[in-house]
Amino acid sequence: MNGKNRKDIKEGQLVAIVLKKDQRSGQLTRGHVKKILTNSPSHPHGIKVMLVEDNQVGRVQEILNN
Protein backbone atom coordinates (compact mmCIF):
# COMPACT_ATOMS: atom_id res chain seq x y z
CA MET A 1 0.00 0.00 0.00
CA ASN A 2 1.29 3.46 -0.82
CA GLY A 3 1.30 6.33 1.66
CA LYS A 4 -0.68 8.93 -0.27
CA ASN A 5 -3.89 8.73 1.80
CA ARG A 6 -3.89 9.93 5.40
CA LYS A 7 -6.69 7.51 6.38
CA ASP A 8 -4.42 4.51 5.62
CA ILE A 9 -1.71 5.60 8.10
CA LYS A 10 -1.95 5.04 11.84
CA GLU A 11 0.43 5.94 14.68
CA GLY A 12 2.66 3.00 15.59
CA GLN A 13 2.52 1.53 12.08
CA LEU A 14 5.70 0.30 10.35
CA VAL A 15 6.35 2.38 7.22
CA ALA A 16 9.08 3.19 4.71
CA ILE A 17 9.65 6.92 4.25
CA VAL A 18 11.87 9.03 2.03
CA LEU A 19 13.75 11.75 3.92
CA LYS A 20 14.19 15.22 2.37
CA LYS A 21 17.94 14.60 1.89
CA ASP A 22 17.21 11.27 0.14
CA GLN A 23 14.56 12.51 -2.30
CA ARG A 24 16.96 12.50 -5.27
CA SER A 25 18.30 8.99 -4.60
CA GLY A 26 14.95 7.59 -3.44
CA GLN A 27 16.60 5.80 -0.50
CA LEU A 28 13.95 4.64 1.98
CA THR A 29 14.14 4.69 5.78
CA ARG A 30 12.05 2.23 7.80
CA GLY A 31 10.45 3.07 11.12
CA HIS A 32 7.26 3.33 13.14
CA VAL A 33 4.99 6.37 12.88
CA LYS A 34 5.17 8.63 15.93
CA LYS A 35 3.12 11.51 14.55
CA ILE A 36 1.27 12.29 11.32
CA LEU A 37 2.29 15.79 10.18
CA THR A 38 0.20 16.25 7.00
CA ASN A 39 -3.28 17.61 7.73
CA SER A 40 -4.84 17.14 4.28
CA PRO A 41 -6.59 13.81 3.50
CA SER A 42 -4.11 13.00 0.71
CA HIS A 43 -0.84 14.20 -0.81
CA PRO A 44 0.63 13.25 -4.22
CA HIS A 45 4.17 12.75 -2.81
CA GLY A 46 3.10 10.90 0.35
CA ILE A 47 1.85 11.83 3.79
CA LYS A 48 4.54 13.47 5.96
CA VAL A 49 5.23 11.68 9.25
CA MET A 50 7.72 11.67 12.14
CA LEU A 51 9.31 8.38 13.18
CA VAL A 52 9.38 7.07 16.77
CA GLU A 53 12.96 5.75 16.58
CA ASP A 54 14.86 8.97 15.87
CA ASN A 55 12.28 11.71 15.19
CA GLN A 56 13.24 11.81 11.50
CA VAL A 57 10.63 13.38 9.22
CA GLY A 58 9.78 12.21 5.73
CA ARG A 59 7.02 11.24 3.32
CA VAL A 60 5.50 7.75 3.44
CA GLN A 61 6.29 5.71 0.33
CA GLU A 62 5.09 2.31 1.58
CA ILE A 63 2.99 1.00 4.44
CA LEU A 64 4.72 -2.18 5.61
CA ASN A 65 2.08 -3.56 7.99
CA ASN A 66 -1.49 -2.80 9.07
| Position 48 in a domain | yes
43: CB partners within 8 A, 6+ apart: 4, 6, 59
Residue 43: inside a domain: yes
Instruction: Enter the pTM of the model.
Output: 0.92
Q: Please say if the pLDDT value at position 66 is more than 70.
A: no
The reply to whether 1 falls in a domain is no
Q: How confident is the model at residue 2 (pLDDT cuts 50, 70, 90)?
A: confident
Q: Is residue 20 part of a domain?
A: yes
pLDDT digits (tens, 9 = 90+) for 21-47: 999 999 999 999 999 999 999 999 999
DSSP code of 5? B
Domain that holds residue 56: 6-63
Is 41 strand, coil or helix? coil
